[in-house]
Amino acid sequence: MKTIIKTVVSLSFLSLLFAGVAFGQSSDGEQNENGRNTPKVSVSITPDTIMIGDRFVMRVEVEKDIAQFIAFPDMTKAREGDTVELVSISPIDTLFRDGRRVRLAVDYTLTCFEPGLFGLGRVPLFYGDKNVRDTLYTDEESTRFVVKSFDIDTLNQKITDIKTVRDTPLNFSEIMAYATSWPVLLALAVIAVIVIALILWRRYRKGKKGKTAVVNEPPHCRAIRRLEELSERKLWQNGKIKEFYTALSDILREYISQRYDFPALEMTTAELVDTLEKTEVSPKECKRVSELLTLADLVKFAKYTPALESHNEAYREAYIFVEETKQAVVTLAEMLAKDSVSEETHDGADTTVTQSEKL
């Protein structure tokens, strides 16, 4: 008897144990062929009662294994004119993670412009696992919501006619709004660029013509012009003696370099005078320019201060040197006159030879 009682008690204990295990498995959800629980899907709408035109949020939550794949529904392809319109979709949010279990959520912002009781039905979610492809659906009852309209009192509310368009004067703020619009600003920028380009082009053409005129200017004309500009600057009268003699020396050296075609600016005074004596310049003018350049070197390098009357004398000597050594410019009239004189001389000589032959 005792043995039978022990056997019954043991079988009862095993039955309760198996029942507890089965209950625990059923409470965790159904398992697929891979031994993992099927994802749990839930949906909620907040708020579930709105006014017409207001927005509400539908949240879809999924609890799944980290190895499982879930594709949330894409509601962006809703047709135009649908009663419920999609406003935005939030990124996938991870609510919590516990070991291999993870809970994900996506918020869909929706709106509705018709009053009434609506339901979004069962929201489908694509579910994928190893060798498993399936579609999960949410609860239909959880996707219902109410849209209320405004109460209009047609008895006490007076209906008025449409008002005419008001004729308002143009004020300063409106003018500024038009003036600062991007088409006007773009047009002004284009006009400014064109005006600046024309100004720069005219300056470039003017500078180019001036440079051409300077390049074609004879050496003695350029030297005389620079001497006159030096005189107008009144350097030595303002105590700038070194600057005066430096400029005077540069003018003479540049003139000699252009007139006799050798690098006078790069030579010492002695080398310049030696080279100048080998040209057609007279000894008197060579001596004149040698004294001028030597005096300028003393002022520049030896800090020599000449007497006051020496400044005007140096300027006058430089002017005389340029005038005495300038290249003669033969005009077209002079060339024609010279040719006619030579022809007359040649004809006269021929006549004299003819008369001598007759004799």
Residue range 255-278, pLDDT digits in tens: 998 888 888 888 999 998 899 888
State if pTM tops 0.85: no
Spans in the chain with pLDDT lower than 70:
1-36, 76-82, 154, 207-215, 329-359
Asked if domains 40-148 and 219-325 share a fold, the reply is no
Contact 105, 60 (CB under 8 A): yes
Edge to edge, the sheet with strand 116-119 lists 49-51, 144-148, 116-119
Contact 150, 160 (CB under 8 A): no
Assign domain 219-325 to its CATH architecture: Up-down Bundle (1.20)
Residue 146 has a pLDDT of: 92
Residue 25 has a pLDDT of: 36
Residue 195 has a pLDDT of: 94
Query: What is the domain partition of the chain in residue ranges?
Result: 40-148, 219-325
Residue 264 has a pLDDT of: 87
User: Strand pairing of 49-51 and 144-148?
Assistant: parallel
Q: According to the CATH classification, is domain 40-148 in 2.60.40?
A: yes
Contact 143, 58 (CB under 8 A): yes
